[in-house]
Amino acid sequence: QKEVEQNSGPLSVPEGAIASLNCTYSDRGSQSFFWYRQYSGKSPELIMFIYSNGDKEDGRFTAQLNKASQYVSLLIRDSQPSDSATYLCAVNHGSSNTGKLIFGQGTTLQVKP
Amino acid sequence: NAGVMQNPRHLVRRRGQEARLRCSPMKGHSHVYWYRQLPEEGLKFMVYLQKENIIDESGMPKERFSAEFPKEGPSILRIQQVVRGDSAAYFCASSPGGAKGTQYFGPGTRLTVL
């Protein structure tokens, strides 16, 4: 079992729709959860972080965390073609507590005009 | 530019040469992380450093790879006797510290080994 799992996609949604990206993790001691966006050939860009169970909203983005189910998701409302990228879920390695991030393989999102 | 800086952005080496990758963290950040992204693969943690200390090197290959973060100057990731399998994008990230500290990535160094 991979430590952080994501569906590689591609996930295709029409412009204006809600895109839902999902991630599961195996380490129950994980404390911090991050979503990064990576355009092809570019570096990861931090989108959201969440530490507590529940929802966290920032503009068109909502992160959701359920520690009991070891599940974290990212919702993108009113998706735009410029949102087309690979979205990386990252989890702080809780047992070592060093801040080391474990990344999923990423989900490719395509927003079609 | 207050962001994480990396240089060079592109580096070409022949097999057997040495590669030196540099990273300057964001202003006010004292924690540096190195990650590697192989073609068509995810980001993999390599090493975590604070000034003059290696905190966690659990992701570093056992041979040929080393990292430092001196008291003065940038963090350096050094790869000796490069092989074609070392071709990848190497990203540096910095954070202000703490286990929950968010990490901000630099633009990366694309290493190509001929």
Give me the residues paired with residue B105 across strands: B93
Intervals of chain A under pLDDT 70: 1, 94-98
Give, rounded to a whole angstrom, the gap between the first and last alpha carbons of chain A.
36
On chain A, the residues whose CB falls within 8 A of the CB of B104 are: 46
Least confident of A37-46, A102-111, B24-33, B92-101: B92-101
On chain B, the residues whose CB falls within 8 A of the CB of A102 are: 45
A96: number of Cβ within 10 Å: 15
Q: Residues 6 or more apart from B73 whose CB is under 8 A from it?
A: none
Please give the interface size between A and B, counted as residue pairs whose CB atoms are below 8 Å apart: 67
Give per-residue pLDDT as tens, A49-58.
999 999 999 9
Residue B103 contacts A where some CB pair is shorter than 8 Å: yes
Integer Cα distance of A73 and A78 in angstroms: 16
pLDDT of residue A24: 96
